[in-house]
Amino acid sequence: MMNISNALENLVDEFSRLPQIGRKTALRLAMYITRQPAEDVERFSRALSEVKARIRFCSVCCNITEDEVCMICRSGSRKGNQICVVEEPQDVFAIEKTNEYKGKYHVLHGIISPLDGIGPNDIRIKELLARLGSNNGDNVEELILALNPTVEGETTILYLSKLLKPLDLKITRIARGIPVGSDLEFADEVTLAKAFEGRILI
C-alpha cells in the first residue's frame, strides 16, 4: 500500500484478521469504509465495542446472551428434560430455525481436537456436568449430541458418552444420512452406510 495512510493500513490489518478474509478482500472492505458517510462508520465502530461489552455466556447453557440466564433457559415453554449439546452458538440458531426442537441446549464452545491441542477441559464440559450432576434441577432425561459428523465430533461424542454413562441418561446423536434434496449417487460411502444403518420403519 506504499505508505499511503497508516490509518488505512491499520484497518486493512484489522479486516484481514477476520476469518477467511484475505489481504485483497480486506483492502476492498477498507476502501469501501472510506467511501461511507462518517455516521455510518461510527455506527459500525460502536456496534463492535458494544457487542463486546454486552455479550456474555448464559450461566446455565453457555450460549451467548446479554443476560445472566438466556431466554431459552428462562423460558417456561421449553422442556427441561432434554438437552441438546452443540459445538457453537450458530448451531443453536440453525436448530431453532427448524422449529422442531422444544428442549434446552448446552453450548460447548468448541470440540475435542487433540491435533489442535483442544482437550475436554478447554470446552464447556464441566458446566454440562454441573447441570446433570447433584443439582439436576431440570430432571434431564435425554442428552442429544448434535455435533458435526467429523473426526473431532466423533471424538467428542465418544468422550461424552463414556463420561456420562454412569449418570443413567438416554444419550442420543442426530442421524447421519443423505441430505434432503441431494442425490444418493453423490453421497460418499460412509454417509450411505450410516444412512442404511439408521434406516427407520415407514
Nearer to a second copy, 29 or 174 (CB): 29
Please answer whether residues 85 and 146 qualify as being in contact, where contact means their C-beta atoms are separated by less than 8 angstroms: yes
Nearest to 125 by CA among 169, 187, 62, 66: 62
Least distance between a second copy and beta carbon 35 (Å): 8
Residue 51 CA, distance from chain mean position: 17
Question: CA-CA distance, 164 to 201, in Å (whole number)?
Answer: 29
Nearer to a second copy, 13 or 197 (CB): 13
Nearer to a second copy, 49 or 135 (CB): 49
Interface positions with a second copy (CB under 8 A):
1-8, 10-11, 13-14, 17-20, 25, 27-34, 36, 38, 40-55, 63-66, 70-71, 88-90, 93, 96
Q: Is 26 helix (H, G, I), strand (E, B) or coil?
A: helix
Question: CA-CA distance, 190 to 129, in Å (whole number)?
Answer: 32
Least distance between a second copy and beta carbon 31 (Å): 6
Nearer to a second copy, 20 or 134 (CB): 20
